[in-house]
């Protein structure tokens, strides 16, 4: 690290759980973020600010005026622009040392497998079941840790699926790959800060995974009720009959 980096990350380096070795791990890490919306925005911004060296973002959408209430990586002048480009510009302003790869497309198929294989941690910041299950399958296949978040109305939930450990459950252990499409913000609404809370926790969990410190949310689902500020965790185990990871 150079002198500017030592100063920029000094408040993290002074933490014994991080120190110089942990910061070096962050600088050398590559994180894949799927989705540049309400969750992807704060997650990407905190990861960039914290010094994650390489951030790859996939999203096939453009910025709409209705996004600005919660998708804080985008600004009024970005309306109509590609979300990944808007996010990349914001991250570069936050921390020009971070290498940001922005791809405007839905991440799927062979490209999904390749990106997951090359990542140290994967953040699912998407908003549909098909994408979530596809990301989970790729993470199980390549044994990469997955940090998943969701937010709607005043409610949020986050979990870590440490698929790099054979005894840890995957996303499919918790949610069945069937039934109705999940509810989304466009049809149910969402209060702005809940997306920031969830996305920030996703960034925190990813950084803990990278520097290998603390206890992550692996095997636990964090539930946040923003109306009552009731925050609790629910434990769950690997499903031996899981169609995605049950035979591993």
Give the active site residues: 185
Cβ density class 144-175: b for 16+ within 10 Å, e for less? bbbbbbbbbebbbbbbbbbbbeeebbbbbbbe
Burial class (CB in 10 A: 0-12, 13-18, 19+), 208: buried
End-to-end CA distance of the chain: give it in Å, rounded: 40
SS3 111: helix
Q: Are 57 and 40 in contact (CB under 8 A)?
A: yes
> Is the separation of the CB atoms in 135 and 124 below 8 Å?
yes
Dist. CA 204–CA 197, nearest whole Å: 11
Q: Are 153 and 190 in contact (CB under 8 A)?
A: yes
b/e 42-62 (16+ beta carbons within 10 angstroms → b): bbbbbbbbbbbbbbbbbbebb
């Amino acid at each position: 690290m150079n002198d500017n980096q030592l100063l920029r990350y000094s408040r993290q380096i002074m933490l014994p759980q991080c120190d110089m070795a942990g910061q070096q791990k962050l600088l050398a890490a590559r994180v894949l973020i799927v989705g540049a919306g309400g969750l992807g925005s704060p997650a990407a911004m905190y990861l960039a600010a914290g010094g994650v060296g390489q951030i790859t973002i996939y999203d096939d959408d453009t910025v709409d005026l209705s996004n600005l209430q919660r998708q804080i990586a985008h600004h009024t002048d970005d309306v109509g622009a590609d979300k990944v480009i808007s996010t990349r510009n914001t991250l570069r302003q936050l921390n020009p040392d971070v290498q940001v790869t922005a791809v405007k497309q839905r991440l799927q198929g062979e490209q999904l497998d390749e990106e997951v294989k090359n990542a140290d941690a994967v953040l699912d910041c998407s908003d549909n079941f098909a994408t979530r299950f596809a990301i989970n399958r790729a993470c199980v296949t390549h044994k990469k840790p997955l940090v998943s978040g969701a937010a709607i109305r005043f409610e949020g939930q986050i979990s870590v699926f440490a698929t790099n450990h054979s005894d840890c459950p995957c996303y499919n252990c918790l949610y069945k790959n069937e039934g109705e499409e999940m509810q989304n913000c466009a049809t149910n609404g969402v209060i702005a800060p809940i997306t920031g809370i969830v996305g920030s926790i996703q960034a925190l969990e990813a950084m803990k995974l990278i520097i290998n410190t603390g206890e992550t949310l692996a095997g636990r689902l964090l539930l946040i009720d923003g109306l009552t500020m009731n925050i609790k965790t629910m434990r769950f185990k690997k499903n031996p009959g899981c169609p995605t990871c049950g035979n591993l």
